[in-house]
Amino acid sequence: MKVVLQGLTKKFPPRGGKGEGVVAVKDFTFEIPDGKLVALLGPSGCGKSTMLNMICGLEKPTEGRIFFGDDDVTEISPELRGVGMVFQNYALYPHMSVYNNIIFPLGNLKGEEKMTKEQMKERADKVAGLVQIRELLERKPKELSGGQQQRVAIARALVKTPRLLLMDEPLSNLDARLRLQTREEIRRIQRETGVTTVFVTHDQEEAMSISDMIVVMKDGELHQFGKPQEVYDDPANLFVAKFLGTPAINVFDAEVKGGKLIIGEDTVLDVPGVRDGKVVAGIRPEGFIYDPAGPLRCELDRVEVMGRDISIVSKNAACEAPVVRSIIDSDERPEDGLKTVSFRLRPGKVHVFEPETGERLRFGKGK
Protein backbone atom coordinates (compact mmCIF):
# COMPACT_ATOMS: atom_id res chain seq x y z
CA MET A 1 0.00 0.00 0.00
CA LYS A 2 1.35 3.43 -0.91
CA VAL A 3 1.22 6.24 1.64
CA VAL A 4 0.72 9.84 0.54
CA LEU A 5 1.50 12.79 2.79
CA GLN A 6 0.11 16.12 1.64
CA GLY A 7 1.20 19.42 3.19
CA LEU A 8 1.66 17.76 6.58
CA THR A 9 2.41 20.22 9.39
CA LYS A 10 2.55 19.75 13.16
CA LYS A 11 2.70 22.69 15.47
CA PHE A 12 2.90 22.04 19.23
CA PRO A 13 1.33 24.82 21.28
CA PRO A 14 3.61 26.81 23.63
CA ARG A 15 3.93 25.60 27.21
CA GLY A 16 1.50 27.49 29.45
CA GLY A 17 -0.01 29.21 26.41
CA LYS A 18 2.86 31.77 26.12
CA GLY A 19 5.36 32.22 23.28
CA GLU A 20 5.55 30.76 19.80
CA GLY A 21 5.25 27.00 20.26
CA VAL A 22 7.25 24.52 18.20
CA VAL A 23 6.71 23.70 14.54
CA ALA A 24 7.97 20.10 14.62
CA VAL A 25 7.05 19.26 11.00
CA LYS A 26 6.61 21.88 8.27
CA ASP A 27 4.59 21.27 5.14
CA PHE A 28 5.75 17.78 4.16
CA THR A 29 4.56 16.43 0.84
CA PHE A 30 5.82 13.12 -0.48
CA GLU A 31 4.68 9.65 -1.49
CA ILE A 32 5.95 6.40 0.00
CA PRO A 33 5.65 3.84 -2.81
CA ASP A 34 3.90 0.52 -2.20
CA GLY A 35 6.11 -2.19 -0.70
CA LYS A 36 9.15 0.04 -0.20
CA LEU A 37 11.24 0.76 2.86
CA VAL A 38 11.64 4.48 3.43
CA ALA A 39 14.01 5.94 6.04
CA LEU A 40 13.26 9.22 7.79
CA LEU A 41 16.75 10.54 8.44
CA GLY A 42 17.86 13.62 10.34
CA PRO A 43 19.53 14.90 13.49
CA SER A 44 17.89 14.75 16.91
CA GLY A 45 14.84 17.00 17.21
CA CYS A 46 14.23 17.35 13.47
CA GLY A 47 10.71 15.94 13.72
CA LYS A 48 11.15 12.27 12.76
CA SER A 49 9.12 10.81 15.63
CA THR A 50 6.42 13.45 15.26
CA MET A 51 6.14 12.48 11.59
CA LEU A 52 5.84 8.78 12.49
CA ASN A 53 3.27 9.53 15.19
CA MET A 54 1.13 11.44 12.68
CA ILE A 55 1.30 8.56 10.21
CA CYS A 56 0.14 6.04 12.82
CA GLY A 57 -2.45 8.40 14.29
CA LEU A 58 -0.98 9.06 17.75
CA GLU A 59 -0.57 12.76 16.84
CA LYS A 60 -3.10 14.78 14.88
CA PRO A 61 -1.60 17.02 12.17
CA THR A 62 -2.20 20.75 12.52
CA GLU A 63 -2.55 20.92 8.74
CA GLY A 64 -2.41 18.51 5.82
CA ARG A 65 -3.78 15.08 4.91
CA ILE A 66 -2.54 11.49 5.12
CA PHE A 67 -3.68 8.87 2.61
CA PHE A 68 -3.23 5.10 2.86
CA GLY A 69 -3.71 4.03 -0.75
CA ASP A 70 -6.71 6.12 -1.82
CA ASP A 71 -8.22 6.32 1.69
CA ASP A 72 -7.91 9.57 3.62
CA VAL A 73 -7.00 8.35 7.13
CA THR A 74 -6.25 11.77 8.68
CA GLU A 75 -9.23 11.58 11.05
CA ILE A 76 -9.10 7.82 11.64
CA SER A 77 -8.05 6.54 15.07
CA PRO A 78 -4.74 4.61 15.41
CA GLU A 79 -6.38 1.20 16.10
CA LEU A 80 -8.27 1.34 12.83
CA ARG A 81 -5.32 2.30 10.62
CA GLY A 82 -3.86 -1.21 10.38
CA VAL A 83 -0.36 -0.09 11.33
CA GLY A 84 2.32 -2.17 13.12
CA MET A 85 4.75 -0.24 15.34
CA VAL A 86 8.25 -1.16 16.58
CA PHE A 87 9.98 1.11 19.09
CA GLN A 88 13.55 1.58 20.26
CA ASN A 89 12.84 0.12 23.71
CA TYR A 90 10.94 -2.97 22.39
CA ALA A 91 8.07 -2.29 24.88
CA LEU A 92 7.52 -6.01 25.57
CA TYR A 93 5.41 -7.14 28.54
CA PRO A 94 7.97 -8.54 31.02
CA HIS A 95 5.60 -10.94 32.80
CA MET A 96 4.39 -12.60 29.58
CA SER A 97 6.10 -15.31 27.55
CA VAL A 98 7.39 -14.48 24.09
CA TYR A 99 4.41 -16.35 22.63
CA ASN A 100 1.89 -14.32 24.64
CA ASN A 101 3.67 -11.08 23.77
CA ILE A 102 3.39 -11.93 20.08
CA ILE A 103 -0.30 -12.84 20.12
CA PHE A 104 -1.25 -9.95 22.42
CA PRO A 105 -2.52 -7.65 19.62
CA LEU A 106 -4.75 -10.48 18.31
CA GLY A 107 -6.66 -10.60 21.62
CA ASN A 108 -8.12 -7.15 20.89
CA LEU A 109 -9.72 -8.15 17.61
CA LYS A 110 -13.51 -7.91 17.64
CA GLY A 111 -16.49 -9.08 15.59
CA GLU A 112 -15.68 -10.88 12.36
CA GLU A 113 -11.97 -10.43 12.92
CA LYS A 114 -11.98 -12.32 16.26
CA MET A 115 -9.66 -15.34 16.17
CA THR A 116 -9.78 -18.79 17.75
CA LYS A 117 -6.80 -20.01 19.81
CA GLU A 118 -5.77 -22.28 16.93
CA GLN A 119 -5.84 -19.41 14.43
CA MET A 120 -3.72 -17.29 16.79
CA LYS A 121 -1.24 -20.11 17.20
CA GLU A 122 -0.96 -20.52 13.46
CA ARG A 123 -0.36 -16.78 12.99
CA ALA A 124 2.19 -16.60 15.85
CA ASP A 125 4.02 -19.61 14.44
CA LYS A 126 4.22 -17.98 11.02
CA VAL A 127 5.67 -14.67 12.23
CA ALA A 128 7.98 -16.38 14.74
CA GLY A 129 9.35 -18.41 11.80
CA LEU A 130 9.76 -15.25 9.75
CA VAL A 131 11.85 -13.51 12.43
CA GLN A 132 13.53 -16.81 13.41
CA ILE A 133 12.58 -17.07 17.09
CA ARG A 134 10.48 -20.28 17.05
CA GLU A 135 12.69 -21.90 19.70
CA LEU A 136 12.26 -18.94 22.09
CA LEU A 137 8.45 -18.87 22.37
CA GLU A 138 8.29 -20.16 25.96
CA ARG A 139 10.85 -17.73 27.36
CA LYS A 140 10.25 -14.43 29.16
CA PRO A 141 11.69 -11.23 27.59
CA LYS A 142 14.40 -10.90 30.28
CA GLU A 143 15.78 -14.29 29.19
CA LEU A 144 16.51 -12.91 25.69
CA SER A 145 19.33 -10.82 24.22
CA GLY A 146 18.55 -7.31 22.97
CA GLY A 147 18.55 -8.51 19.36
CA GLN A 148 16.15 -11.35 20.19
CA GLN A 149 13.85 -8.95 22.07
CA GLN A 150 13.76 -6.69 19.03
CA ARG A 151 12.79 -9.69 16.84
CA VAL A 152 9.91 -10.43 19.22
CA ALA A 153 8.81 -6.79 18.94
CA ILE A 154 8.91 -7.07 15.14
CA ALA A 155 6.93 -10.34 15.25
CA ARG A 156 4.31 -8.66 17.45
CA ALA A 157 4.08 -5.73 15.02
CA LEU A 158 3.60 -8.11 12.08
CA VAL A 159 1.14 -10.53 13.67
CA LYS A 160 -1.95 -8.57 12.56
CA THR A 161 -0.55 -8.42 8.98
CA PRO A 162 -0.39 -4.62 9.05
CA ARG A 163 -0.82 -2.49 5.93
CA LEU A 164 2.11 -0.41 7.07
CA LEU A 165 5.05 -1.07 9.41
CA LEU A 166 6.55 1.86 11.33
CA MET A 167 9.89 1.53 13.14
CA ASP A 168 11.21 4.25 15.45
CA GLU A 169 15.00 3.89 15.91
CA PRO A 170 14.60 0.09 16.30
CA LEU A 171 18.34 -0.59 16.46
CA SER A 172 19.50 2.09 18.92
CA ASN A 173 19.64 -0.20 21.94
CA LEU A 174 21.80 -2.84 20.25
CA ASP A 175 25.58 -3.07 20.24
CA ALA A 176 27.46 -2.40 16.98
CA ARG A 177 27.63 -6.04 15.80
CA LEU A 178 23.99 -6.78 16.57
CA ARG A 179 22.94 -3.55 14.90
CA LEU A 180 24.49 -4.67 11.64
CA GLN A 181 22.97 -8.15 11.90
CA THR A 182 19.53 -6.90 12.89
CA ARG A 183 19.39 -4.29 10.15
CA GLU A 184 20.05 -6.98 7.58
CA GLU A 185 17.30 -9.05 9.22
CA ILE A 186 14.86 -6.15 9.03
CA ARG A 187 15.65 -5.75 5.35
CA ARG A 188 15.07 -9.45 4.72
CA ILE A 189 11.81 -9.51 6.68
CA GLN A 190 10.59 -6.39 4.88
CA ARG A 191 11.41 -7.93 1.47
CA GLU A 192 9.75 -11.24 2.37
CA THR A 193 6.54 -9.64 3.65
CA GLY A 194 6.51 -6.81 1.08
CA VAL A 195 4.97 -4.55 3.73
CA THR A 196 5.45 -0.82 3.15
CA THR A 197 7.77 0.32 5.93
CA VAL A 198 8.87 3.64 7.41
CA PHE A 199 12.07 3.47 9.43
CA VAL A 200 13.27 6.35 11.62
CA THR A 201 16.98 6.81 12.24
CA HIS A 202 19.57 9.54 12.83
CA ASP A 203 22.32 7.25 11.52
CA GLN A 204 23.03 8.00 7.87
CA GLU A 205 24.91 4.77 7.27
CA GLU A 206 21.97 2.76 8.59
CA ALA A 207 19.54 4.70 6.40
CA MET A 208 21.72 4.32 3.29
CA SER A 209 22.20 0.58 3.76
CA ILE A 210 18.66 -0.45 4.61
CA SER A 211 16.28 1.70 2.61
CA ASP A 212 14.87 2.03 -0.89
CA MET A 213 14.30 5.75 -0.38
CA ILE A 214 15.55 8.32 2.12
CA VAL A 215 13.79 11.41 3.44
CA VAL A 216 16.43 13.82 4.77
CA MET A 217 15.00 16.29 7.26
CA LYS A 218 16.22 19.12 9.49
CA ASP A 219 14.33 21.48 11.81
CA GLY A 220 11.02 20.00 10.70
CA GLU A 221 11.72 20.66 7.02
CA LEU A 222 12.14 18.20 4.18
CA HIS A 223 15.54 18.75 2.56
CA GLN A 224 15.62 15.90 0.06
CA PHE A 225 13.70 12.75 -0.86
CA GLY A 226 15.23 10.12 -3.14
CA LYS A 227 17.10 6.85 -3.55
CA PRO A 228 20.11 6.64 -1.20
CA GLN A 229 22.69 6.71 -3.98
CA GLU A 230 20.97 9.61 -5.74
CA VAL A 231 20.86 11.65 -2.54
CA TYR A 232 24.54 10.91 -1.90
CA ASP A 233 25.65 11.67 -5.46
CA ASP A 234 23.39 14.64 -6.04
CA PRO A 235 22.74 16.44 -2.73
CA ALA A 236 20.22 19.29 -2.87
CA ASN A 237 22.18 21.46 -0.45
CA LEU A 238 25.16 21.68 1.88
CA PHE A 239 23.29 20.18 4.86
CA VAL A 240 22.44 17.00 2.91
CA ALA A 241 25.98 16.80 1.48
CA LYS A 242 27.47 17.02 4.99
CA PHE A 243 24.96 14.68 6.63
CA LEU A 244 25.56 11.74 4.26
CA GLY A 245 28.86 9.93 3.83
CA THR A 246 31.68 8.55 5.99
CA PRO A 247 34.27 9.95 6.07
CA ALA A 248 32.29 13.17 5.66
CA ILE A 249 32.57 15.46 2.65
CA ASN A 250 35.46 17.97 2.94
CA VAL A 251 34.16 21.53 3.03
CA PHE A 252 36.23 24.51 1.84
CA ASP A 253 35.75 28.29 1.67
CA ALA A 254 36.29 28.95 -2.02
CA GLU A 255 35.71 31.39 -4.82
CA VAL A 256 34.57 31.22 -8.44
CA LYS A 257 36.11 33.47 -11.10
CA GLY A 258 35.31 33.14 -14.78
CA GLY A 259 33.96 29.59 -14.40
CA LYS A 260 36.97 28.35 -12.39
CA LEU A 261 36.87 27.13 -8.79
CA ILE A 262 39.64 28.59 -6.63
CA ILE A 263 40.63 27.22 -3.21
CA GLY A 264 43.21 29.40 -1.43
CA GLU A 265 45.61 30.27 -4.27
CA ASP A 266 44.92 27.15 -6.29
CA THR A 267 42.64 27.03 -9.33
CA VAL A 268 41.33 23.51 -8.89
CA LEU A 269 38.42 22.82 -11.27
CA ASP A 270 36.31 24.18 -14.14
CA VAL A 271 32.81 24.94 -12.89
CA PRO A 272 31.13 26.32 -16.04
CA GLY A 273 27.95 28.27 -15.40
CA VAL A 274 28.57 29.12 -11.73
CA ARG A 275 28.41 32.89 -11.07
CA ASP A 276 31.54 34.72 -9.87
CA GLY A 277 31.94 35.24 -6.12
CA LYS A 278 32.44 33.43 -2.85
CA VAL A 279 31.16 29.84 -2.61
CA VAL A 280 31.46 26.81 -0.39
CA ALA A 281 33.04 23.81 -2.10
CA GLY A 282 32.40 20.25 -0.92
CA ILE A 283 34.77 17.51 -2.05
CA ARG A 284 33.96 13.87 -1.29
CA PRO A 285 36.96 11.90 0.05
CA GLU A 286 36.86 9.74 -3.09
CA GLY A 287 36.92 12.88 -5.26
CA PHE A 288 40.68 13.40 -4.84
CA ILE A 289 43.19 11.91 -7.27
CA TYR A 290 46.72 11.94 -5.90
CA ASP A 291 48.86 13.64 -8.56
CA PRO A 292 52.17 15.43 -7.84
CA ALA A 293 51.28 17.83 -10.67
CA GLY A 294 47.66 18.34 -9.47
CA PRO A 295 46.37 21.86 -8.76
CA LEU A 296 45.12 21.50 -5.14
CA ARG A 297 48.03 21.60 -2.72
CA CYS A 298 47.74 20.48 0.89
CA GLU A 299 50.17 19.98 3.72
CA LEU A 300 50.63 16.25 4.38
CA ASP A 301 49.76 15.20 7.93
CA ARG A 302 49.74 11.41 7.75
CA VAL A 303 48.73 8.41 5.67
CA GLU A 304 46.24 5.95 7.20
CA VAL A 305 46.08 2.40 5.86
CA MET A 306 42.52 1.13 5.34
CA GLY A 307 43.30 -2.14 3.50
CA ARG A 308 42.51 -1.85 -0.21
CA ASP A 309 42.50 1.95 0.08
CA ILE A 310 44.54 4.47 1.97
CA SER A 311 43.44 7.73 3.47
CA ILE A 312 45.72 10.71 2.94
CA VAL A 313 45.09 13.05 5.85
CA SER A 314 46.29 16.56 5.06
CA LYS A 315 45.74 20.19 6.01
CA ASN A 316 44.53 23.16 4.02
CA ALA A 317 43.85 26.60 5.52
CA ALA A 318 40.60 26.96 3.51
CA CYS A 319 39.14 23.71 4.88
CA GLU A 320 36.39 24.03 7.50
CA ALA A 321 37.65 20.98 9.42
CA PRO A 322 41.14 20.64 10.93
CA VAL A 323 42.06 18.01 8.32
CA VAL A 324 41.22 17.08 4.74
CA ARG A 325 40.42 13.39 4.28
CA SER A 326 40.97 11.83 0.87
CA ILE A 327 40.60 8.16 -0.04
CA ILE A 328 43.08 6.86 -2.59
CA ASP A 329 43.89 3.46 -4.03
CA SER A 330 46.72 1.94 -1.95
CA ASP A 331 48.86 1.55 -5.12
CA GLU A 332 49.00 5.33 -5.34
CA ARG A 333 50.50 5.87 -1.91
CA PRO A 334 52.67 9.01 -1.79
CA GLU A 335 56.36 8.38 -1.19
CA ASP A 336 57.66 8.77 2.37
CA GLY A 337 59.05 12.08 3.59
CA LEU A 338 56.80 14.41 1.56
CA LYS A 339 55.68 17.68 3.19
CA THR A 340 53.13 18.67 0.55
CA VAL A 341 50.67 16.54 -1.42
CA SER A 342 48.81 17.63 -4.54
CA PHE A 343 45.54 16.44 -5.99
CA ARG A 344 43.43 16.58 -9.12
CA LEU A 345 39.67 16.45 -8.50
CA ARG A 346 36.91 14.29 -9.98
CA PRO A 347 34.25 16.80 -11.13
CA GLY A 348 31.31 14.49 -10.20
CA LYS A 349 32.53 14.35 -6.60
CA VAL A 350 32.84 18.12 -6.16
CA HIS A 351 29.77 20.18 -5.25
CA VAL A 352 29.52 23.95 -5.01
CA PHE A 353 27.11 25.75 -2.68
CA GLU A 354 25.82 29.26 -1.99
CA PRO A 355 27.57 30.34 1.25
CA GLU A 356 24.52 32.06 2.81
CA THR A 357 21.75 29.55 2.07
CA GLY A 358 23.71 26.35 1.44
CA GLU A 359 21.78 25.85 -1.83
CA ARG A 360 23.60 23.91 -4.50
CA LEU A 361 25.13 25.82 -7.43
CA ARG A 362 25.15 23.32 -10.27
CA PHE A 363 27.72 23.29 -13.01
CA GLY A 364 28.50 21.47 -16.24
CA LYS A 365 26.33 18.44 -17.02
CA GLY A 366 24.64 18.44 -13.59
CA LYS A 367 23.22 21.93 -14.21
Stretch that binds ligand ATP, among 1-9, 44-52, 65-73, 320-328 (CB under 6 A): 44-52
Of the residues 8, 32, 41, 48, which one makes contact with ligand ATP according to CB under 6 A = 48
CB of 219 to ligand ATP, least distance (A): 8
Work out whether 16 is an interface residue with ligand ATP (CB under 6 A).
no
Of the residues 28, 38, 41, 50, which one makes contact with ligand ATP according to CB under 6 A = 50
Stretch that binds ligand ATP, among 42-50, 60-68, 144-152, 223-231 (CB under 6 A): 42-50
By C-beta, is 124 or 222 nearer to ligand ATP?
222
By C-beta, is 22 or 300 nearer to ligand ATP?
22
Residues in a beta bridge with 222: 217
Task: Return phi, psi of residue 98, to 5°.
Answer: -55, -45
The three-state secondary structure class of 222 is strand
Work out whether 18 is an interface residue with ligand ATP (CB under 6 A).
no
Of the residues 3, 36, 47, 237, which one makes contact with ligand ATP according to CB under 6 A = 47
Stretch that binds ligand ATP, among 38-46, 69-77, 141-149, 348-356 (CB under 6 A): 38-46
By C-beta, is 50 or 149 nearer to ligand ATP?
50
Work out whether 223 is an interface residue with ligand ATP (CB under 6 A).
no
Work out whether 46 is an interface residue with ligand ATP (CB under 6 A).
yes
Residues 277 and 354: beta-carbon distance below 8 Å: no
CB of 198 to ligand ATP, least distance (A): 12
C-alpha 119/C-alpha 114 separation (Å) is: 10
- CA of 222: how far to CAs of 42, 99, 169, 213, 295, in Å? 10, 40, 19, 13, 37
Phi-psi region of 150 (alpha: psi -120 to 50; beta: other; left: phi over 0): alpha
Strands (E), the chain: 3-12, 22-32, 37-41, 63-68, 71-72, 83-86, 164-168, 196-201, 213-218, 221-226, 250-257, 260-263, 266-270, 277-283, 288-290, 296-305, 309-315, 324-329, 340-345, 350-353
Stretch that binds ligand ATP, among 37-45, 72-80, 144-152, 277-285 (CB under 6 A): 37-45
Number of residues that bind ligand ATP (CB under 6 A): 12
Euclidean distance between the first and the last CA atom of the chain, given in angstroms as a whole number: 35
- CA of 31: how far to CAs of 89, 199, 267, 351, 366, in Å? 28, 15, 42, 27, 25
By C-beta, is 202 or 242 nearer to ligand ATP?
202
Work out whether 202 is an interface residue with ligand ATP (CB under 6 A).
yes
Of the residues 3, 5, 24, 222, which one makes contact with ligand ATP according to CB under 6 A = 24
Local structure of residue 284 (DSSP, 8 states): -
C-alpha 320/C-alpha 307 separation (Å) is: 27
C-alpha 186/C-alpha 70 separation (Å) is: 27
Stretch that binds ligand ATP, among 47-55, 106-114, 152-160, 252-260 (CB under 6 A): 47-55
By C-beta, is 47 or 287 nearer to ligand ATP?
47
CB of 211 to ligand ATP, least distance (A): 16
For the purposes of burial, counting CB atoms within 10 Å of the CB of 127, is it exposed (0-12), middle (13-18) or buried (19 or more)? buried
The DSSP element (H or E) to which 339 belongs, if any, is none
CB of 52 to ligand ATP, least distance (A): 8
Q: Which residues bind ligand ATP (CB under 6 A)?
A: 12, 22, 24, 42, 44-50, 202
